[in-house]
Amino acid sequence: METHEDCIFCKIVAGDIPSAKVYEDEDVYAFLDISQVTKGHTLVIPKNHTKNIYETDDALAAKLFARVPKIANALKESFQPTGINILNNNEEAAGQSVFHLHIHLIPRYDETDGFKPNWITHEDKYDLADMSSTISTNL
């Protein structure tokens, strides 16, 4: 297991910090976020430490994301939300505060449930053809 000494989520995986478990298998751990944005707000993490999406290899990403539908359905069954938002913050500028990759599962109930993405569009500002020729796809 790849762990990081000062990482709070590595400590949760190791059981050194208690957590409310939602799901666990060999590679993935899911637990309730200590600051519940909505009822059932869950974090899904790889057991192996990786900082964020930029530092995650294909195999780990595949394992992690493969578990999300199962966990989302478990939350749906348990809490009967009417929808769910799935969110992943990478780097401080994007709101990442714990630097161990995690996916937020945020069950949604109604307009006043506590979560509302601020989705402002700028159609006139960006040229799509120009952008697509700029993006590096040398992967």
**Segment (H or E) for 129:** helix 128-134
Six-digit token pair at 112?
Answer: 């006043």
Binds 100: which of Zn ion, ligand 5GP, none (CB < 5-8 Å by kind): Zn ion
Piece of the chain touching ligand 5GP by CB under 6 A; list 29-37, 59-67, 116-124, 126-134: 29-37
- Rounded to an integer, what distance in angstroms lies between the CA atom of residue 45 and that of residue 53? 11
- Rounded to an integer, what distance in angstroms lies between the CA atom of residue 4 and that of residue 33? 20
Binds 7: which of Zn ion, ligand 5GP, none (CB < 5-8 Å by kind): Zn ion
Binds 108: which of ligand 5GP, Zn ion, none (CB < 5-8 Å by kind): none
Q: Does 4 bind Zn ion (CB under 5 A)?
A: yes
Terminal-residue alpha carbon distance, the chain? 27
Instruction: Give me the residues that bind ligand 5GP (CB under 6 A), please.
Output: 8, 17, 19, 31-35, 43, 89, 95-98
